[in-house]
Amino acid sequence: MGAVIYDQHFNSNELYVIVMMTVGFTIYRLLPRTLSPLQTAFTMLISVISGLIFDHTIAIPPFDLYDIGDNSSYEVFDFISYLMYAPYGYLYIYGFERFRISGIVTIGYMLAWASIALLFEWLGVKSGVYHYKHGYYILYSIPIYLVVLSVQLSAYRAAFSNHRWQKN
């Protein structure tokens, strides 16, 4: 089966990615530095990597639940679009650290961020970034976001926990 072409022009889907990256990185630059440069790089990198892993897990065969961008095959801009995850992953951990989220509040915090991610995905669908296939529905993304947020927070805690460096 050949590639499905949704679009061949620079328009709303590319503009959406550029705006999301610009807004995200602008907010990052305006916030006071709470995380170290190593924590910042780690958080941004794990955000991009987890986006790539989870998107490629469900967006390619055998699942093939949606396409990204102008057509069903990957283009250079599709890979650039993964950079938009970096500042938002940073903001997720930044808020967690800045507001000292702990205990049961962590669940509410993760649900709030899953809701934000769902809103961004919905805007992405409206802008033509995501094209659902095979009966995929936006609400199916909720557990995926919860897993991604859990993995990101767990990896951050494992890498930067104060208790990690203490000898028993």
146 pLDDT band, cuts 50/70/90, is very high
Q: Say whether pLDDT at 164 is over 90.
A: no
26 inside domain: yes
122 inside domain: yes
Region 6-30: mean pLDDT is 92
89 inside domain: yes
Region 98-115: mean pLDDT is 97
Residue whose entry in the numeric block shows the structure tokens 């990690």: 164
1 inside domain: no
Q: Say whether pLDDT at 117 is over 60.
A: yes
Let me know the angle formed at the C-alpha of 102 by 104 and 112, rounded to the nearest 5 degrees: 65
- pLDDT tens column, 52-82: 898 888 988 889 899 888 777 777 787 888 9
Closest CA relative to residue 97, chosen from 30, 42, 160: 160
- pLDDT tens column, 33-57: 999 999 999 999 999 999 889 888 8
Region 79-101: mean pLDDT is 95
Calpha distance 160→168 (Å, rounded): 17
* Structural domain harbouring 43: 12-161
Structural domain total, the chain: 1
Give yes or no for a contact between 59 and 67, defined as CB atoms under 8 angstroms apart. Answer: yes
